[in-house]
Chains A and B, each alone.
Chain A
Amino acid sequence: MKKICYILCIVLFIVSCSSSDNEGYTPVAVDLEIPEIFSSNILPPVIPNTNPLTEEGIALGKRLFFDRILSADETISCASCHSPQNAFSDNSATSVGVDGLSGTRNSMPLFNLAWNYNERFAWDGKELSLERQVIEPVQNPLEMHSDWDDVINKLQGHPEYPELFSRAFNTSTITQDLVTKAIAQFERTMISANSKFDRYSLGQATLTPQELNGLDVFLREDKGDCFHCHGNPNNPLWTDNDFHNNGLDATFTDLGLGAVSGDPNDNGKFRSPSLRNLVYTAPYMHDGRFQTLDDVIDFYSEGLQNSPTIDPLMKNIDQGGAQLSPEDKADLKAFLLTLSDPSFLTNPAFQN
């Protein structure tokens, strides 16, 4: 009986679909190609069923991402602060928006975003999905400083966009919701998983003794102990995407997660960034305070600042941190550089 019921359901479903009253074009569904290093180690990416990936949606998202039309005076695009040659970050400490003013945060690199399982984006986790994140930079006075209604009007009056939306979403009526969906689709395809270390993990490359010792420093509790927050060879995202106070400051000018959650125990906590592609993403930290990786390593070695919310994984705070030898510092840096993926920067799928 049960079986018959299900068959009936399927038949009815098909019937109900074929009598649709849309404009007739069905966008081509895309199955995200998941690199082996991810599929064999970590959970699948988050792709909301309210915004499935399609060829047309991704292409539209890419075009919007690189289009200055989203900014008030049409001088900057998303890519101005998220540029391909910087692994979709930029090289200033705090990025400059259309009015020449800069915010207080360092632009974040964009890759492997679909693997941020908790979907808490930005340094402080204030953006709760990739779709919703798109709304902010477009209207932020320090970034693109647009009015969303103006943006929609400009897109609607554009010679090509209405047709592109129609192919991607079956409607030529452009809305903020559809703009955010298209850009989020493009962002979910931005995958970086082809570093020297990835190839080493897959048995396709070897590491030098120096790089291997750097990995050891990274993994040792009595040395760097970086792996409790920044991933490990079995978590090739190289981040836990969680919030920590890693000891940058004794007092906070930016409360980070604390300002979002309202919980003083969260003051000074920021999301651990991925350590992939660091060679392209200087300067470092949420405010871009460190120019070089050497500065970052010196900070973890000698520069920790105590505060009530400092993460208990930060040790030897009295002495300033891990107290690494000059060799260990150099080796740690050499290991971190094996996480760079130059093919991500030149992948034509992500170029304008």
Chain B
Amino acid sequence: MKKFLTLLLVVFVCTNCSDDVDDIVNATQINPVFSFTHNWEGIPVTNANFNSVQYTNANGEMLSIERLRYVISDIVFTTTSNEVLELDAYNLVDVTNNNNLVFQVPFTIPIGNYNNVSFTFGFDNEDNSENYADLNSASFNVPDMLGGGYHYMQFDGKYLDASNSEAPFNYHAIRAVDNPGMSPTFPQDTFFTVNLGAVNITGETTFNIEVNLAEWFQNPNTWDLNQLNTVLMPNSAAQIQMFQNGQSVFSLGSVSQQ
């Protein structure tokens, strides 16, 4: 009984410790939130829509999605005086397991006007050469002979081939690489910046990012899954086409503020 009473007291005192004053002081700083929703030319895509052949790409192939995950990193806020606030964070958006579709950046920015907000699809080369325990644990690595680091995206599914049977595709985006082996070379960067434009931040803010997966297959390169389906990691030409098509995949749907 004595124990119970003391415990009650502990709980009571502790709950009163939470300090409202702090919240008011911090209200001029917010942790931005990025929320990712996926679609195929406007039709919503979640993991509930996986595993059945139901999407048609620009080249006319029907396809299914079975696994989709990708990294976004380096969130940058550019102020009206062109000061650059770079938030060195990353997030593995795992659509397959419905994980991390909403990402609260673990850094704060001041409220105010910004000329531009952006993030990186994948990792820039410096960030890509670091060792991340969570991404290793998720087996997101790229083998050393292909330059090491991490996948930018793993997008697996099946398409209907010329004989109308299901065949696999592994649309894996990485840093484009030539001469796999002890000293690989890198023809060009294939991470890219997604610019969301100007925003006036007045309070807690969520950027609703829309991800049109059909764009990976159509713009500017019409993707022919009969030609480019698997073994694309060591194919630098395919990586460069992914980089080009990726530019139009992400857009800002809306900004919600409190």
Interface residues of A (CB under 8 A from B): 1-2, 5-6, 8-9, 12-13, 15-16, 19-21, 40-43, 117, 216, 219-222, 227-229, 231-235, 237, 240, 265, 308-315, 317
Q: Note all chain B residues with C-beta closer than 8 A to A234.
A: 131, 136, 141
B9 within 8 A of A: yes
Pick out which of these stretches binds chain A: B11-19, B38-46, B79-87, B191-199: B11-19
- Contact, CB under 8 Å: B234 / A43: no
Which residue of the partner chain B has the closest CB to A239?
B139
Whether the pair A227, B67 counts as a contact (CB closer than 8 A) is no
Pick the residue among A2, A16, A219, A237 that contacts B17 (CB under 8 A). A2
In the complex, number of A-B residue pairs with CB atoms less than 8 Å apart: 101
Q: Is the CB of B137 within 8 A of A43?
A: yes
Given the known inter-chain contacts A234-B131, A312-B158, A312-B170, please indicate yes or no for A42 contacting B136, CB distance below 8 A.
yes
CA distance A221 to B229 in the complex (A): 12
Interface of B is mostly: mixed
Whether A227 and B139, one on each chain, are in contact in the complex, defined by CB atoms closer than 8 angstroms, is: yes
Chain B residues with CB below 8 A from A237, complex form: 137
Chain B, interface size: which category? Answer: 35 or more
Query: Which residues of chain B have a CB within 8 Å of any CB of chain A?
Result: 2-3, 6-7, 9-10, 13-14, 16-17, 19, 22, 50-51, 66-67, 131, 133-134, 136-139, 141, 143-145, 154, 156-158, 166, 168-170, 230-234
The complex places the Cα of A222 from the Cα of B229 at a distance, in Å, of 12
Q: Which residues of A contact B13 (CB under 8 A)?
A: 5, 8-9, 12
A-side binding surface: helix, strand, loop or mixed? loop
Q: Can you add 20 more A-B contacts, CB < 8 Å, to A12-B13, A16-B3, A16-B7?
A: A2-B17, A5-B13, A6-B17, A12-B10, A16-B10, A21-B3, A41-B136, A42-B137, A117-B137, A216-B145, A219-B145, A227-B141, A232-B139, A235-B137, A310-B168, A311-B66, A312-B66, A312-B158, A315-B170, A315-B231
Residues of B within 8 A of A308 (CB): 166
Q: Which 6 A-B pairs have the closest CB atoms?
A: A16-B6, A312-B168, A5-B17, A219-B143, A312-B156, A265-B51
* CB <8 Å contact, B169 and A233: no
**Are the C-beta atoms of A235 and B141 separated by less than 8 Å?**
yes
A1 touches which one: B2, B19, B136, B139 (CB < 8 A)? Answer: B19
Q: Are B139 and A235 in contact (CB under 8 A)?
A: yes
Could you say which residues of chain A place their CB within 8 Å of the CB of B133?
41-43
Q: A263 — nearest CB in chain B belongs to which residue? A: B51
**Bound-complex Cα distance A117 to B139 (A):** 13
